[in-house]
Structure 1
Amino acid sequence: TPTAPATATASATTAGATPDTPTPNAATPDTPTPDEATPAPAVAQTSRRLFVARTVAAGAGAVAAATVGYGTYSVFRGPRVKRITVPLAKLSRQAHGYRIAVVSDIHLGPILGRAHTQRVVETINRVNPDLVAVVGDLVDGSVADLGPAAEPLRHLRARDGSFFVTGNHEYFSGADAWVDHVRELGLRPLENERTELPGFDLAGVNDVAGEDEGKGPDFGQALGDRDRGRAAVLLAHQPVVIHDAVRHGVDLQLSGHTHGGQLWPGNYLAELANPTVAGLERYGDTQLYVSRGAGAWGPPVRVGAPPDITVVQLASLHA
């Protein structure tokens, strides 16, 4: 009938589009799917993390630079004075209040030269001590190279004089020549020997590094025949000889060598190698005081271990 083709055409149109006509909901090849697009929040989060990381790194670098800068400044400004009082049971009444200026590890060398020595000498003279004790590691070089740098030591002033014992660095630098030179500068070397002072004995032993040259510490020679009824103060560069000091009835040992650790993590290494790293401790009837030293070895930097010169004031229990 005439209406049949129209009905068929309408049915085809109602059923759907032809195969060549895309449906309204079909994705075209040029349109990215949600999985293919980078979400904007993820980009922002990555940028924030990068900014924070860079800020933290810059802050850490600034802190490190400031720490090293201050550590260098603390060396070049010179040591500060530290004061302690040490009671000694056998110290006579007449020696009560006796003051010993203890300085160690000056480490004269290419970096710390004559100006450094002058600062040390001026600091010691200002405290007007009864005695000066230079307990080793004065130099890092020969007399020929560093003699002028040590020259200000001749201006040290103390009522009972200035005394010197060798440190391990003296044996790297020509110990015999330095012993002779400090004697010329007015210091008295104590090479495994002692002297009697009013109220106590002062003894000194060579550093253990001298054993390679047959000139190590000899406690018998320094202390063997003394009157043990008198107090004895021992100058010994390295704290490790404290047990020998205890066996020989020493009342107080004055040492250096450790630099108080000088610079992290050196403090941990110093603790492994030494019975005491800094300060005053007791071993039986013997007390040990370890100075942080007045200079620096290696980089001229100290962090957490400022340089010092210690005034040790002896106290009598009979005063």
Structure 2
Amino acid sequence: DFSLDDLKALARLDMDIFFITGNHEGYVKGYRKQLDRFKELNITVLDNERVALGELNLIGVADEQPSGARVKTVERLYVAGAFNLALVHQPSIWDQTSHYTDLMLCGHTHKGQIFPFNFLVRLQFRYVFGLYGKSGAHLYVSSGVGCWGPRMRLGSKNEVILLEIKPEPLASIMAD
């Protein structure tokens, strides 16, 4: 039910837009070719790559690889002295990579999506929704905008987050 036409409005925005894959892209036939079309829309696909944006090191991790490979990708793309922001679909690698990231943004859990299955999600994932912090590193797990399975939510809400990163206030805003 998804078309790249749904994203055409993004091409009109005067800002950089970055994309990483999640676990559902693999269900779409020819999704790699679709990712190539993102360039037409000014969307940069970070496929185990990083982009330097001033003092910000933006790390994008592809979800289609095993957990251990995702950890190694974060380690490999880390830049000492930069603010390392990692875009990683599944939050399950944060414990192994938090010392390489200042901030990791994730999704995947849908905040449980449907009551009472949200309890099962909490059993499987340590980080389900919201802001977490330890040793100066932070993780935000978003409930996201979509669904898996049934196209409904019960006991969780969709969200789009707007994150503004500023050099100094970040430490006080995101204190552990």
Alignment TM class, shorter chain as reference: 0.7 to 0.9
Aligned to 1:272: 123
Q: Residue 313 in 1 paired to residue 167 in 2?
A: no
TM, length-normalised to structure 2? 0.82
Structure 1 unmatched ranges of 5 or more: 1-108, 110-145
What is the count of residue pairs matched by the alignment? 168
What aligned pairs does 1:112-191 form with structure 2 within 5 A after superposition? 146=2, 149-156=3-10, 157-174=12-29, 175-191=31-47
Aligned to 1:206: 62
In structure 2, C-alpha distance between the alignment counterparts of 1:222 and 1:280, rounded to whole Å: 20
Distance 1:230 1:218, change over 3 A: same
> Relative contact order (C-alpha < 8 Å, sep 6+): which is higher?
1
Distance 1:223 1:155, change over 3 A: farther
Q: How far did 1:251 drift?
A: 0.4
TM, length-normalised to structure 1? 0.48
In structure 1, C-alpha distance between the alignment counterparts of 2:87 and 2:137, rounded to whole Å: 13
Aligned to 2:173: none
Aligned to 2:86: 234
What aligned pairs does 1:1-319 form with structure 2 within 5 A after superposition? 109=1, 146=2, 149-156=3-10, 157-174=12-29, 175-207=31-63, 209-211=64-66, 217-221=69-73, 223-224=75-76, 226-247=78-99, 249-317=100-168
Distance 1:281 1:297, change over 3 A: same
Instruction: Kindly provide the CA deviation profile for residues 177-221 of structure 1, in whole angstroms up to 9, marking residues without a partner as x.
Output: 3322323333111011100113311110011x434xxxx844545
In structure 1, C-alpha distance between the alignment counterparts of 2:65 and 2:43, rounded to whole Å: 20
Instruction: Kindly provide the CA deviation profile for residues 93-131 of structure 1, in whole angstroms up to 9, marking residues without a partner as x.
Output: xxxxxxxxxxxxxxxx3xxxxxxxxxxxxxxxxxxxxxx
Q: How far did 1:223 drift?
A: 4.9
Structure 2 unmatched ranges of 5 or more: 171-176
Runs (4+) off by over 3 Å: 157-160, 216-223
Percent same amino acid among aligned pairs? 33
CA RMSD of aligned residues (A): 2.5
Q: How far did 1:269 drift?
A: 1.4
The structure with more helix, counted as a fraction of residues? 1
Distance 1:218 1:263, change over 3 A: closer
In structure 2, C-alpha distance between the alignment counterparts of 1:245 and 1:160, rounded to whole Å: 28
Aligned amino acid, residue 169 of structure 1? H
Distance 1:197 1:168, change over 3 A: same
